[in-house]
Structure 1
């Protein structure tokens, strides 16, 4: 554009000074003639870079997701092809589910076993209460027999003292008393044991044994849920719309759940169009302003955009936290990125595409036409393929 302006201005000067000789060509007119275009070009360029800042560094960035399975196993199916459109929810690959089905069956059996154990523990609770009642009833009966035996011993002692009763009956009664004492002691122990088991309860009023079994059931159900979740993870689906590039996964390969060993890279369709500017070029840039970009993959085409936001941060804004002085390299001043949103929804932009662009601010609006001419001329130059092979 500057060259075109100089050519037109030079042609006009030729007409004035040489063709029609309207003015003399001397030192004064020479200085004036040369100074005018230089001053005008400098003023236009200075205001144009603020009113409609341009950049030769426009990049298209896509979200990339490293696909790592949550379980480890042998791949039995790869459901996608490289560089093909993939819809969200489509199967990427499947891992052999048989080992995980076995774990699921074992977890279900453990839950059933724990629940059966709970029924037995609840039955034992009732059994302990019945044992306590039975032991208490037997103790009452044995106590009555013991009192009767003691009374007989006293009677036989009285008879033996007068010589009226046989000595054998006395000894038999005394042996019966001792046997009843032993039986009563055994019943006391059984009663105490049954009472302890009956009264052994948790804070919720539940028997300790039953509470332990319920805890085992909860643990078994958690293991069952985990086994079901692992079985579900053997099928890996696409997290969003996109595609897989450089697909190396094959049937028979072992897919590992190690985070550092992704099995494929998924490129989402969601994109960021970033235009990079010097820090003093974006002071008039605001959200919603008009922008245009010319991508090299579409020579001669102007893509309309809107400013989404200015990313007010650079890598130079970070200082490592530590006990030592930060060792920062001497770098040039970082540029700021401006995110653009294409208005043309149907335009396809490859991830990593490069181009140029301009933003039209609300400052010195009449200069926007100059920038639009510049960017359109530049987009035409993308048709040129300068290669010697």
Structure 2
């Protein structure tokens, strides 16, 4: 035992270390390297972006979106470039408005035409009472002439039957009565 104590004293005094006490360092270095590689791989998986989208709260925020116009037409100006960040409400493209302006002008012209036709028809309606009154007065005049023509027709028919009047006068009275009746009916 004294020898063992002497060896320990020699080791403490700067002597040669014992082979049993000396352990190899490479397993510790290998474990540190493996642990460092593991940490780098885990951090890369967490922080490097991938094309796979996943979420734990069922909410996904898009970074791009498809757009579609409400009307068709030719594009006259583009307000953004590829991969620009676009806030909501920003004008992306400007459509050529000549076709829509032509359609608006056509609709305005049709409206003006229809308004003029309506005014003409309303004027016709306003004229109708005076036209009706004029027709009523013409009918009254024809009826008055028919009374005279009927009396003349009877008189000339009686005169022609007795021989006191001519057949020509009777025929003229019949013709005048038929003419007035046709004018009244037509």
- Return the TM-score normalized by structure 2: 0.62
Question: 1:97 is matched with which residue?
Answer: 97
Q: Distance in 2 between matches of 1:161 and 1:96?
A: 93
Q: Distance in 2 between matches of 1:173 and 1:69?
A: 83
Question: 1:183 is matched with which residue?
Answer: 183
Question: 2:78 is matched with which residue?
Answer: 78
Q: Distance in 2 between matches of 1:129 and 1:82?
A: 72
Q: Which has the higher helix share?
A: 2
Question: 1:61 is matched with which residue?
Answer: 60
Question: 1:199 is matched with which residue?
Answer: none
Q: Distance in 2 between matches of 1:106 and 1:165?
A: 74
Question: 1:136 is matched with which residue?
Answer: 136
Structure with the bigger RCO (C-alpha within 8 Å, sep 6+) is 1
Question: 1:123 is matched with which residue?
Answer: 123
Q: Distance in 1 between matches of 2:85 and 2:65?
A: 15
For residues 248-267 of structure 1, the aligned pairs below 5 Å read: none
Larger radius of gyration: 2
Q: Distance in 2 between matches of 1:157 and 1:61?
A: 110
Q: Distance in 1 between matches of 2:146 and 2:90?
A: 84
Q: Distance in 2 between matches of 1:57 and 1:149?
A: 107
Shift of 1:74: 1.7
Aligned residues: 131
For residues 191-210 of structure 1, the aligned pairs below 5 Å read: none
Root-mean-square deviation (CA), in Å?
2.3
Q: Distance in 1 between matches of 2:56 and 2:83?
A: 24
Shift of 1:163: 2.6
SS at 1:165 equivalent: coil
- Return the TM-score normalized by structure 1: 0.31
Shift of 1:96: 1.3
Q: Distance in 2 between matches of 1:130 and 1:67?
A: 64
Residue 57 and residue 158 in structure 1: after superposition, are their counterparts in 2 closer, same or farther (change >3 A)? closer
Gapped regions of structure 1 (runs ≥ 5)? 1-55, 187-389
Shift of 1:58: 4.7
Question: 2:46 is matched with which residue?
Answer: none
Question: 2:88 is matched with which residue?
Answer: 88
Q: Which has the higher strand share?
A: 1
Residue 159 and residue 84 in structure 1: after superposition, are their counterparts in 2 closer, same or farther (change >3 A)? same
